[in-house]
Every structure is written in structure tokens, then in C-alpha cells.
Amino acid sequence: MSKKLRRYSLRRIKDNYTYTVEQIADLFGINVNTVRRWISEEGLKRLPMTRPHLVHSSDLKRFLERKQKSRKKPCAEHELFCCKCQMPRSPKLDTGSLILNPNNTVLFGARCSVCDTKIHKAVKGEKWDENHP
């Protein structure tokens, strides 16, 4: 049986707010000891000289972003990350669509070749030209 990876919804984190360890645990439904370990072992910054420990929302966000990025499976150029499969998948042929955004990114959408879920990724315009001549 594969262990299900936990994803933390960063949208739940309020802007400009200080959290206690207990509040963070509540927020994500995790054990307070997990949060304490983030602080003591995994480098989650806490505000200095606070007891009980307080963590600023921006530090919490940054920490979790980094944590989630580090276990992200990298997609090859032709692959898109499928949320349902939880891994990079090739898009189904003939399902691709491109949307050019005004901010010079290209949104590529398609369907997962395995589970048919909609998948998409945004690519910077310049980068897109390099990779997809």
C-alpha cells in the first residue's frame, strides 16, 4: 500500500497573521508534535522570543511551499502533472489547447492520458518558444 502524501492547502493560511503551534496543527488537522518538529528539525522559522512559539503566516507559507516543492516529481517537457494520478502524465493526443495570457505566459491544457482528468500547466512565453519551436 502506498502512503498517501499530505498536501497542505496554503490558501487556508491567513495573510499577515501569527499562529501558535496549536493553531497550525488545527489548521491542517495534524499533530502539534508535527508542527514542533517542523520548527525544531525542518527549519520552520518562528518569531524570536515568543513563548508559546509563534509562527508568522508568511514564514509558514514559505516553509510549506518549499516542503511541497521538494517532493514534487519533476515533469518532463512533454508531461503535465495530473492531480488525480499524483504524478506527471503525458497529455492525451488531440486534447491539447493553448491559451495565451496577456502576461506572456502560455496556459497549456489537455486531458490526462491515463485517467482523463483535465490537466494544465502554465509556461512562460519565452520559455515556451525555446522548448516548443
Interface contacts to Zn ion, rule CB under 5 A: 82, 84-85, 112, 114-115, 117
**CB of 106 vs Zn ion, minimal distance in Å:** 21
- The residue among 107 and 115 lying less far from Zn ion, judged by its C-beta, is 115
- The residue among 81 and 128 lying less far from Zn ion, judged by its C-beta, is 81
Judged by DSSP in three states, 70 sits in helix
**CB of 113 vs Zn ion, minimal distance in Å:** 8
d(CA 56, CA 64): 12
**CB of 30 vs Zn ion, minimal distance in Å:** 27
Q: Residue 11 has what DSSP assignment? A: G
d(CA 82, CA 91): 9
**CB of 117 vs Zn ion, minimal distance in Å:** 5
d(CA 58, CA 51): 19
d(CA 39, CA 41): 6
Judged by DSSP in three states, 115 sits in coil
- The residue among 44 and 112 lying less far from Zn ion, judged by its C-beta, is 112
d(CA 129, CA 123): 10
- The residue among 61 and 92 lying less far from Zn ion, judged by its C-beta, is 92
